[in-house]
Amino acid sequence: MTRRTNGDAATVRAWAALGGGQGLAEEVTYQGVTGVLPSRLPVRELARATVGVCSLAAAELLALRNGTPVPPVRVHEGAVATAFVSERHLRIDGRALTLFAPLSGFWRTADGWVRTHANYPHHRARLLGALGLPDSGDDDPEAAARRLAGELAGRQAREVQEQVYAAGGLAVAVAPEAAGARHPLVETETVGEAPPRVLPAAPLPAAGVRVLDLTRVIAGPVATRTLALLGADVLRIDSPRLPEDPDAHADTGMGKRSARLDLADPADRKVCDELLAAADVVVTGYRPGALDRYGLAPGGLLDRHPGLTVARLSAWGWTAAGPWAGRRGFDSLVQAAVGIAAAEAGADGRPGALPAQALDHGTGYLLAAAVLRALSDRQRTGGGRTVRLSLAGTASWLLHGIRPAPPEDGDDGGDGYDPAPWLTETASPCGTLRHALPPVRYDGAPRTWHRPPSRWGTDAAAWL
């Protein structure tokens, strides 16, 4: 079953938020399937729209580079649903990933619920330390969970939230439905008067584009692995003092290279500056202001490198986020804080979750789309670009800006969902990977990445 987007306002609205031209979004088509991403909230519509506009932005840039009509965009909802839970489908030499640590989850308090995030060892240590609980590191997980549950049961949810955040940990009080502030979906600004950078004809939209990737976890790496799929030379840079989970890196490192630089070290900082001088795009996924001391504030970057696209991602938003803007955050915490967990609660009142980390994945495809659109606009009119997105902005759109698409006459939802056609195996330095195929589709789009992920931090900090 194929649907045009005439009845899919989410695609049209997302394309408008990205600054796309009128009329193009109406040409995107979707092949529907039943049983994908079931949820009380319109997650299915959000997921396919984010992939749809990313596919369209890629098709637009490809046509602009080659002087050809925009190729048709046809997205399969089965591919979208599989990619939106790519971390659940990933197998490394047959081994499944552990998605959430034992101390990451919902916990009852004296007046409600809190959601914690303790997947990284340092976050676990800060959570337990803030609450006065021991952290032996090799403690029995069930015993640690019982201690945490017992401690939280006698506390107020917001007291826990503030105490844990003050200690550098991660916990939020579960808010009632639609409780968060509303945030824009995409913010784009043209900066300076640099001349157009005309990209030559090429078989892939982002071929020859250099992307410096300063992101972690899911949303930012999803965006940059999508740009790598589309031909960009993507180099991810991490601090050697902040190790990444190797399983998470295997999932989101497709098509990219990975190097380590300590930006507090003058020699490594010089290498980063040399990379920036030749980059087309910088994508950051750290808290607002966290990288400014390393010369990576957007204003300074664009002063030194006119024509650069600086794309930034945060958890809690920007101008409307207030004191939360500088806080650490993850998809699961944003879901809890803005009312999504309450909207998805079970009959017993226990908070629920979306069927995917849809804020992460959806924001990732929107971020990639925003970068592609910035490259198209730079080719036409010149100038640098700043782009800002947030998990909170995508959450606002899900809660307030998308209505479930009504079924068309005779529409049975398409064929039943089976993820198998959208999975493949690839040999890699990390082991044999069974992984999701990319969902981005336009006529002629690559079916998969040109290279598997490197091991974290093992590549040279240099452009190809």
Q: Based on the number of CB atoms within 10 Å of its own CB, is 447 exposed (0-12), middle (13-18) or buried (19 or more)?
A: exposed
Q: Which residue among 245, 360, 415, 459 is the active-site one? A: 360
| Structure letter (DSSP) for residue 356 | S
360 belongs to the catalytic site: yes
Amino acid type, 147: R
Amino acid type, 442: Y
Segments of 273-349 assigned E as strands: 281-284, 309-314
H-only helix segments in 382-448 = 391-396
| Structure letter (DSSP) for residue 277 | H
User: If we measure between CA atoms, which residue out of 279, 321, 266, 256 comes closest to residue 451?
Assistant: 256
Q: Report d(CA 225, CA 87) in Å as an integer.
A: 14
Mention every residue, 6+ apart, whose C-beta is less than 8 A from residue 91. 433, 434, 435
Buried b (16+ CB within 10 A) or exposed e, 77-110: bbbbbbbbbbbebbbbeeeebeeebbbbbbbbbe
**C-alpha 78, offset from chain centre:** 19
Q: Based on the number of CB atoms within 10 Å of its own CB, is 112 exposed (0-12), middle (13-18) or buried (19 or more)?
A: middle
Q: Is residue 177 classed as helix, strand or coil in its secondary structure?
A: coil
List residues with catalytic annotation.
360
